[in-house]
Amino acid sequence: MRRMWSRVLVVLAVLGGIVAAPAVPVMAATPQERGALRDSLAALAPVGSSAVIDPATGEVVVRVAGAASLQFRATAARHRPVRTVNAEQPVRTNAILIGGQAMNSLDGRICSTGLITKHGSIFYVVTAGHCVAGALSPWFGPGGGMIGPEKSAHFPDNDFGLLRVSDVTPYQLRSQVAWETGSVLIGAVADVAVGAPVCKTGRTTGTTCGTVLAKDATWHYPDGVVYGLIETDVCAGPGDSGAPLVSLGGGYTSRSRHGAFGILSGSNNNTCGAPGYRSAFQPLPEVMSFHSLVLPI
């Protein structure tokens, strides 16, 4: 009778799904297999994690940054030899995100970063509104690293937009703009006078300089009218939209002689340097005030 009941219990347990044979661990025996396992676990781990093969033990050691997904934990559990530890600090590239660099939307729209700003603890990239409006987020910066999604877009009437810098961006953020082969620190956002010498840096035409010719200009683009623009003879080309307009010097703070005035809105498509060439910039003080932004310096 006891044997009969034990058979019944085994059958019921199997039918009820409460008895399962333990999964056989998947062994990574060769260096090639362990290398593949290292790479797959690093890809499944949270952003900021890293993985190496311990030369002393041969284990795949994954330094996990943050909360790991169920998929990562399950994959790590069924493979051998794997050891997971908490990362002391998340890894990141040393790339610096500044104004005047190339950026691309998810659907391939090309523009330029304008200025790195901050509201509270959140960082934003100011750029041209016509770049951001209607584009697919997120946006990507130099080297293809993610900047983040659209925060807002104002166009027409005005021409400025914000990208919210993602919490997992690989970039270090600086209050600088590209300048020829280097960069300059921006000490303040300010108004600019007619006749002032200015420069801009964008992805297409690089650093170009000229003079402020007029203020409060109104430009009628095919997509609508934009008011209150700074008009200059500074050379700009397609893809430069959003590029920062900055001073050649002027003692804006004790840390920097350079100030930022605007971000590129457009040009009249004439040849750079030809008589009648014009480019237009959205004033930055208005943008900073509207979104309560400050420079993160």
Q: How far is CA 226 from the centre of its chain?
A: 27
Amino acid at 179: W
User: Residue 268 and residue 155: Cα distance in Å, rounded?
Assistant: 18
Annotated catalytic residue within 79, 130, 154, 258: 130
Rounded to 5°, angle at Cα 161 from 158 and 163: 175
Residue with tokens 């021409």: 159
Rounded to 5°, angle at Cα 192 from 190 and 197: 120
Annotated catalytic residue within 105, 166, 241, 267: 241
Q: Is the dihedral of CA 132, 134, 135, 138 positive or negative?
A: positive
Q: Is 291 a catalytic residue?
A: no
Phi-psi category of 286—alpha, beta or left, where left has phi over 0 and alpha has psi -120 to 50? alpha
Identify any residues that bridge with 104 across adjacent strands, giving them in sequence order.
110, 140
Annotated catalytic residue within 159, 175, 256, 279: 159
Q: Is 130 a catalytic residue?
A: yes
User: Residue 159 and residue 114: Cα distance in Å, rounded?
Assistant: 12
Helix 70-77 × helix 31-44 angle, to 10°: 160
Q: Is 256 a catalytic residue?
A: no
Catalytic machinery residues? 130, 159, 241
